[in-house]
Amino acid sequence: MIEARELRKEYGGFVAVEGSTFSVDSGEVFGVIGPNGAGKTTTLKMLAGLLDPTSGSAEVAGYDVAETRMRHHLGFLPEESPLYEEMTPISYLSFFADLYDVDGDVAERRIHDTLDDLQLEHRHRQLGDMSKGMKRKVAIARSLINDPEVLIYDEPASGLDPLTTNYIIEFTERLAEEGKTIIFSAHNLFHVESICDRVVIMNEGQIVARGDLDQLQREYGETTYHVYTTVELADSVRENGRYRSVVQSMDAVEEIRASAAEAGGEVIDIRTEESSLEEVFLNVAESGTGGSRYVEGEEPQ
């Protein structure tokens, strides 16, 4: 449903995105994560046909992103979405429905249904008088006005309070369940973890890791073992009448077993803990890409 092939974007001699190749299947929720400046927004804007790639190509819903017809199949939510402050949600959304040639009755029903789903009150209040969370919901409703198959959301819930953030993430999840294909960028890895089927991790303009969360966990994560013994060992902590040692490998667990036996005790429980996506992300980001982001000969003096 989304295909990115060797996307590259240069600004002057600076390479914002390079070699970006991935595909997103129909009905999938796909996360693009990475630190500030990694190239997430640039990638999403190229997919949305808002930024011409320096090289490479992309398709959305079977159309090259350079084709204007593609836009009828796409809902794009930019990171910052300035709205017309003097309009109300209803007049604003009706305006966009007109732009997309959505039939009057269909548009009216869709606007009301979407605002109901988003639990947006005060539909006749001016947008300028609304909270940030309410404005974000209106921007999301706008992205759905043409009932697109594909949604590209840039940081859909950034800068919002935890309740609204949760609401928007759950809403996004429901859209996927209804069959929309969604690609979104995020900083809040907890939410990515909860709703994404697959992710790419970007750093310094390049994709440095990809896969579903299990794959990333296996490749970049760590397993921590909490080993409980009946006797005190070096570096163990007393907890509810038993002793807990924390180690990172099964070999170390076996060493604890041997030490416990030597001290006349035994291992009574072992609990494992996998790295969160946050930790995986930090491991990947720390490894860096190591290359220059400048085109050869264009490095700043």
Ligand X SMILES: Nc1ncnc2c1ncn2[C@@H]1O[C@H](COP(=O)(O)OP(=O)(O)OP(=O)(O)O)[C@@H](O)[C@H]1O
- Binding residues vs ligand X (CB under 6 A): 11, 14, 16, 34, 36-42
Closer CB to ligand X, residue 31 or residue 34?
A: 34
* Minimum gap (Å) between residue 33 Cβ and ligand X: 9
- In order, the DSSP letters of the chain are -EEEEEEEEEETTEEEEEEEEEEE-TT-EEEEE-STTSSHHHHHHHHTTSS--SEEEEEETTEETTSGGGGGGEEEE-SS----TTS-HHHHHHHHHHHTT--HHHHHHHHHHHHHHTT---TTS-GGGS-HHHHHHHHHHHHTTT--SEEEEESTTTTS-HHHHHHHHHHHHHHHHTT-EEEEEES-HHHHHHH-SEEEEEETTEEEEEE-HHHHHHHH--EEEEEEESS--TT-EEETTEEEEEESSHHHHHHHHHHHHHTT--EEEEEEEEPPHHHHHHHHHHH---S-SB-TT----
Closer CB to ligand X, residue 12 or residue 297?
A: 12
Closer CB to ligand X, residue 38 or residue 107?
A: 38
* Minimum gap (Å) between residue 42 Cβ and ligand X: 3
Structure tokens at 65: 């992103």
Pairing mode of beta strands 242-247, 237-239: antiparallel
* Minimum gap (Å) between residue 228 Cβ and ligand X: 42
Pairing mode of beta strands 14-24, 74-77: unpaired
Closer CB to ligand X, residue 45 or residue 137?
A: 45
Closer CB to ligand X, residue 41 or residue 114?
A: 41
* Minimum gap (Å) between residue 285 Cβ and ligand X: 12
Closer CB to ligand X, residue 74 or residue 202?
A: 202
Closer CB to ligand X, residue 42 or residue 94?
A: 42
Rounded CA-CA distance 31/275 in Å is 18
Closer CB to ligand X, residue 38 or residue 227?
A: 38
Between the alpha carbon of residue 2 and those of residues 27, 59, 171, 207, the distances in Å are: 11, 6, 21, 16
* Minimum gap (Å) between residue 38 Cβ and ligand X: 4
* Minimum gap (Å) between residue 146 Cβ and ligand X: 25
* Minimum gap (Å) between residue 180 Cβ and ligand X: 22
* Minimum gap (Å) between residue 93 Cβ and ligand X: 26
